[in-house]
Chain A
Amino acid sequence: MEQLINDLKSQIKEALNLEELSLEEFDENAPLFGEEGIGLDSIDVLEIIVLLEKNYGIRLANPKDGRAIFQSVRTIAEHVQANRKK
């Protein structure tokens, strides 16, 4: 699980061009949205959806289903763990 979380952090940092966020300070429990957390927006979510399909074979047709999944890197990792196809 910890390995998966670390993989996801670097994949998200690269896909979303989070240039100024270091992997050390990227907290897997921090909320991904809003000013309290990482501060992602709606396009970033769509980009994470592409990333999950590309790297783990997980398809998420409706972004509305993603609300629970995209709370933090940890919730994404849990979803990947349970649903990955590759």
Chain B
Amino acid sequence: MIYVLSTNITSPLGFTTEENHQAVLSGVSALKRQEGLWGLPEPFAASLFSEEQKAELAIEGYTFFEALAIRSIRKALTYTSLGNASSRIVLILSTTKGNIEALGEELYYPSKAAQRIAEAIGLNTKPIVVCNACVSGLSAQLLANHLLSANLYDYAIVVGAEVQSKFIVSGFQALKAVSEEPCRPFDIERNGLNPGEGAATIVFARTTSEESWCLLDGAVCNDAFHNVSPSPQGEGLTAAIETVMKGRDKSKLATVCVHGTATLYNDQMESKAIEKADLSDIPLSALKGYYGHTMGAAGVLETILTMRATDDGIVLPSKGFTEVGVSGKVSISEEPQPTNKTAFLKIMSGFGGCNVAALYEKTTDNSQRTTDKAKFLKTHTIKLSSEDGKTLTDIYKQQIGDYPKFYKMDLLTRLAFVASELLKKVSPREDFEGVTPVILFNHSSSIVADRQFLDTIKDAENFFPSPSVFVYTLPNITTSEIAIRHHLCGETSFYILPDKDEALMQQILEASLAGTDTPTAISGWVNAESETSYECELSMYNII
């Protein structure tokens, strides 16, 4: 468990947590219909910063994405004092596409942006980027919990940030997931999500001397069903919720803050999972009607809003909702509801089949707890590289050959997939079963797929954004392909680092697996810069 020292939300509705809280309480939404923006042929509704806001937030020498994150962190830090032991502070950046507009430049690399943000706020530790698609903002908080609980750092600055662009919006439009109108979470009329931009920061500490919000526990479970569509019965989300709530009293929950993207499939699946996990009578709050889907920022932003509202004894109304349009039994309302409870559950599900649940409680119990790091043996390792003299397709044809979906994958996913198949050949069968986590790292994110997708949208005369390529512009799809292939329903995570820092990777793995009862884990480095420059080192770990 870790404690919240301070927070900030910087969004089109305001530049502080308080401004955002007040705006949401007064029912304001930042969603506006956009036509012709960025030359996109189809209209969409989105929550975007105005030109005046952008000018106010800009910092010379930084991209808008970086400036947004820096502003948010600085605001959060003004309410707290972290001391000067900066080697004990880690920056965790949650984003899906970071500086995607800088594709082709050094600034594209998400860890580069994270390093520039870290330097701007005076940190000299290596930042970690969490790139787990829609669930990134919760994954990032769970990583903070692991790292602080393992006593590797005293403080974690978790910042989630996303800036919208032609790249992201055209991709979601190609997936037919975007609504032209303000979104309607859980409603019978819902027809898609709205992209949103913003940044949100939570400063976590291992301990505190005051009453504060605490991240008690979290769980990550993959559906192992499909890269993009959630499993209709919501097994992964149900499992994540049940893992977190096991042995805990659900009557303490003020609310379940849902993902509620307002796509047909997401909200339906969430309702099923909520009913199965026996939370039908807990009031839900769905917050995308105010901000849209702020992607990498969403998990952080929605957690902060829920803390702030619960402080005021309020369950936030679900803007955009009027009539239930899901089949699972849920309690949801467009009106605010009073509460005297001081705990809540935050859930998210996203591309890559990943489901996360996290439990928060306001508490005066602020004792430090250090968990023992997991100890494990590396039992097998597969190394692949562009220097091997054999292409991945050669290896697939010669040694695998029974999974035609291989040909649909982008280079990064092919690399991870082939390595995992070869690892499977040398590992006992039970190592590739059940809840074996898949935790991957790299430097270049999904640069190959990003270039391919950009090629489908850069020419206005030949503008045909490819949905299947867009899916692979989320690097964590590598983890879901492995999970789907072997029906692995445990944690899947994708982290981006400045370099192949084996010590840091080991620390993250040890901290992440502490206290889990899984006997094995698949983890390693999977980096693909181009067809002629890629490298993978994937290992099977046995936990002892």
Contacts and interface: CB of A to CB of B under 8 A. Distances in A.
B378 interface: no
A77 B372 CA distance: 62
Given A41-B226, A43-B228, A63-B176, A50 B408 contact: no
A36 B527 CA distance: 37
B407 A19 contact: yes
A18 interface: yes
Contacts of A20: 404, 407
Given A47-B467, A50-B467, A63-B176, A42 B407 contact: no
B124 to A, nearest CB: 43
Nearest to A44: B468
Contact of B407 (A17, A43, A47, A54): A17
B468 A47 contact: yes
Contacts of A50: 174, 464-467
Interface residues of B, number: 16
Given A50-B174, A63-B176, A43 B404 contact: no
B175 interface: yes
A47 B228 CA distance: 14
B229 interface: yes
A34 to B, nearest CB: 15
B536 interface: no
A30 interface: no
Contact of B408 (A17, A54, A62, A63): A17
A65 to B, nearest CB: 11
Contact of A43 (B464, B465, B467): B467
A76 B404 CA distance: 23
Contacts of A4: none
Nearest to B403: A20
Given A17-B408, A46-B174, A46-B175, A54 B464 contact: yes
A53 interface: yes
Contacts of A58: none
Nearest to B393: A19
Nearest to A41: B226
Nearest to B227: A43
A18 B226 contact: no
Given A47-B467, A50-B466, A54-B464, A42 B228 contact: yes
Contacts, number: 39
Contacts of B176: 46, 62-63
A42 B466 contact: no
A3 B406 CA distance: 30
A16 B227 CA distance: 16
A13 to B, nearest CB: 10
B228 A53 contact: no
B471 interface: yes
B407 A53 contact: no
B395 to A, nearest CB: 15
B207 to A, nearest CB: 46
Contact of B471 (A18, A21, A43, A53): A43
Contacts of B464: 50, 53-54
A54 B456 CA distance: 11
A50 B464 CA distance: 6
Contacts of A54: 464
A18 B408 CA distance: 8
A16 B408 contact: yes
B410 to A, nearest CB: 11
Contacts of B468: 16, 43-44, 46-47
B362 to A, nearest CB: 42
26 contacts: A16-B408, A16-B468, A17-B407, A17-B408, A18-B404, A18-B407, A19-B404, A20-B404, A20-B407, A21-B404, A41-B226, A42-B228, A42-B229, A43-B467, A46-B175, A46-B176, A46-B467, A46-B468, A47-B466, A47-B467, A50-B464, A50-B465, A50-B466, A50-B467, A53-B464, A62-B176
Given A18-B404, A42-B226, A43-B468, 8 more contacts: A17-B408, A20-B404, A43-B227, A44-B468, A46-B467, A50-B465, A53-B464, A62-B176
Interface of A: 16-21, 41-44, 46-47, 50, 53-54, 62-63
Interface of B: 174-176, 226-229, 404, 407-408, 464-468, 471
List the 5 closest pairs (A to B, CB-CB), nearest first: A19-B407, A46-B467, A17-B407, A20-B404, A17-B408
